Homo-oligomer: A and B are copies of this chain.
Amino acid sequence: MAAGSTRPTSRDVARAAGVSQAAVSLVLGDKWRGRVAEATAQRVREAARELGYRPNLAARNLRLGSTRTVLLVVPALTTEFFAGVYTGAARVAADHGFGVVLYPSPEGIGPARDPFASAQAALDGVIASSMAAEALTAIRGDQLPLVMLDSDPAGGTGATTVNLDIRDGVRQTARHLLALGHRRFLHLAADIPSWTFEVRARELARCLAAVPGTELRTASAPLSIDGARTAAETALSAPGPRPTALVCDDDKLAAGAYKAARRLGLRIPGDLSVTGLDDLALATALDPELTTVRLDAELFGERGMQALLAVLESREPAREDIPVTLVVRGSTAPPNAF
């Protein structure tokens, strides 16, 4: 574990650069104009970079008596609406050097949880979705204990991973559609370079390759309803025999596929069987209701946290994929069932 040596402080940087701690603070705080020579400032910045110095926020906050952080209390995280609220608030906050911390108001979290308890912040560890690739580099900068969600278990990061058994979900989906008699498949894939999506493609191809006479095409789409609609519409109007089964990387893409089918005059499931993955509320809002793979998000979160706790206490985290189940609804049927 890299947790051996303690994190460098501003004094360590000072020592390395041959100046006082105060000088480091001045330079790194951009208050050095006319107080520190350019050359010295350069030396300090270099030393800081070399040591991987990050200021201790607790100390800074204590010193400044302010945190430049704000709490956003939202009813729950269940709608796109408050995602937008967060985004807007965070943007303005960032412009003013503020941060925003989310507090989703308690819903089974515990009895009368104190909102402020969740905001003691500055971090001991990180749980990261593999879809949040953008943030990862910044995270690896620190030497924080890290747990990855749905990431390559053999990944180069060496981080602990907690995965849903997506492969099995895809396997169940393929088996179901094959059993119904489908042979011509279209895979509506998310265009995000993430292990969790790559594994879907790989496993679907593997399952179908095992059955002679099957055909698999792939269409790539952005992870939004309307992006998916466009991609599906294009793919479904391509020349050649039309696929009878459409396997979507998640429920949102499936919703887009429904819109595409509607536009092309295709009936679901008569002309086209559609499957999703996630089992969002959206899945049963569609008509017909969507056959999809149910993921237990809460369990996923719990396992992720447990794994992180294990790492923090330098225990061995459990290594076991979380099972998923196919929920068969009205969007799948035998092909050409008129």
The smallest beta-carbon distance between A159 and chain B, in angstroms, is 12
Q: Which residue of B lies closest to A97 (CB)?
A: B117
Q: Restricting to A31-82, which residues have a CB under 8 Å from any CB of B?
A: 54, 56-62, 66-82
**Does A185 reach chain B (CB closer than 8 Å)?**
no
Docked pose: A286 CA to B262 CA in angstroms: 11
Q: How far does the Cβ of A129 sit from chain B's closest Cβ, in whole Å? A: 5
Contact present for A105 and B118 (CB under 8 Å): no
Task: Tell me which residues across on chain B come within 8 A of A112, comparing CB atoms.
Answer: 138
Judge if A195 is at the interface, Cβ distance under 8 Å. Answer: no
- Number of this chain's copies in the assembly equals 2
The answer on a CB contact under 8 Å between B123 and A99 is: no
Instruction: With both chains docked as a complex, state the minimum distance between the C-beta of A30 and any C-beta of chain B, in angstroms.
Output: 15
In the complex the two chains form, what is the Cα distance from A98 to B123 in whole Å? Answer: 10
29 sampled A-B residue pairs with Cβ under 8 A: A54-B116, A58-B59, A58-B67, A60-B120, A62-B62, A70-B125, A70-B305, A71-B126, A73-B135, A75-B129, A77-B82, A79-B280, A80-B297, A83-B104, A85-B129, A85-B300, A87-B298, A87-B301, A88-B298, A88-B305, A89-B301, A89-B304, A92-B306, A94-B110, A100-B118, A101-B123, A115-B135, A255-B281, A262-B287
Chain A residues with a Cβ under 8 A of chain B = 54, 56-62, 66-96, 98-110, 112-129, 131-132, 134-135, 138-139, 142, 149, 224-226, 252, 255, 258-259, 262, 278, 280-282, 284-287, 295-306, 308-309
The 3 closest A-B CB pairs, nearest first, are A121-B121, A84-B297, A88-B301
